[in-house]
Amino acid sequence: MIFVKFKKIFTAMQVSIVYTLLLTIFYTRGISSFYAYIFFYITLTIIVFYQEIYSYFIYGTATLVLGIIYTLNYSQGLMIVNDVFGSMYIYIAGLVIYYLVSFAQIINNEKLYADMNLEWVRTNNFNSNNQDELLDFIEDIRAGMSDSQIFEDLEFQRCTLELSQFIAEQILKDGKQIVNLLDLYIYIHEKGLESILRNEEVSIALKKNANILGKYLINQNTDMFSMIISFYLKFHETDEYDINRYNYNIENITSLTDEQFIAFCLIYLYLQDELLEGGRWNSLKSEGTDIEEVFAKIDLTEFFSDQLIAFYHDNKDLLRKYTKKH
């Protein structure tokens, strides 16, 4: 309790485990009874409670070894009159099975946490380049609907403050501290984090708290905004996969010959100017590749009609002459 008071959580965990292990050794020393044997299960239960794989491997294995030694040395006190030969090994097997099952549970939880963390990092990296555009898009939708920001809604503020104060008072004696922090949180949304940090009249402590809360703003590209979007997309329903979802044949998009011709010329221009020769917005320049070589490697009938393909073959020189960038 003293270590927890000083925020030394890991140390407090280690002390409690060692204390329980020493308590088990003390109560099982020289005593031959089933109740003393149960102490090893209690110790393993306390160790597994913390879900720390290294602590369980070290202290749990030590407890298992001590339990097996105790069972072998005091087997006579553990067995009752009606026990068959070899009952001692049942006690050992039970202890080993309990140890292995608990160990498997911890490993599974560690894998689950690692997978969740990896998924969060992967999702965050995937969305990071689009967060600003997504935030602007949401702002445009909100403005178009003449809807106010969620942090400006008085009902939202009142509900958040009352709920946070109630939760804080379950942990602290006074919940006013969390209320003041939430007032600062809403104030940062209204005034902006940069303006608060640049304000010389704001105290150092207030700036420090504001900087910490900056990661949780919902009107900027922050960790909180990324978390909200990722959580929403997790439950956003999308259409089932369709192998023909994207139709690449121009003939199926438009039946007008002139529109098909314009589409073909645009594709030709893009491939030649942007992709093959390297346009001003494109750094992926393919050296030594001509557009005729690209068209020769693909099945043009998947994208163009027979008339467009015939037009291309009959007018290669004309297309090459009049589609040069210069």
Does the pTM surpass 0.85? The reply is no
Q: Is residue 15 within 8 Å of residue 24, measured between CB atoms? A: no
How many percent of the chain have pLDDT more than 70?
A: 89
Q: Which amino acid is at 291?
A: I
Q: Which amino acid is at 184?
A: L
Domain borders along the chain are 2-123, 150-234, 250-322
Dist CA 207 CA 201 (whole Å): 10
Joined tokens for residue 293: 């070589």
pLDDT of 141 above 60: yes
Joined tokens for residue 271: 């491939």
**Torsion angle in degrees (nearest 10) through CA of 234, 238, 242, 246:** -100
- For 225-282, the pLDDT digits (tens) are 888 887 887 787 777 777 667 778 888 888 898 899 898 988 888 887 766 655 555 5
- For 287-297, the pLDDT digits (tens) are 556 777 888 88
- For 58-72, the pLDDT digits (tens) are 999 999 999 998 888
Confidence of residue 57 (pLDDT cuts 50, 70, 90): very high
Over range 96-102, report the average pLDDT: 93
Q: What is the DSSP string of 224-256?
A: HHHHHHHHHHHT---PPP-TTSS---HHHH---
Q: Is residue 36 within 8 Å of residue 27, measured between CB atoms? A: yes
**Torsion angle in degrees (nearest 10) through CA of 232, 235, 240, 242:** 30
Confidence of residue 103 (pLDDT cuts 50, 70, 90): very high
- For 295-323, the pLDDT digits (tens) are 888 888 888 888 888 988 888 888 877 76
Over range 132-136, report the average pLDDT: 81
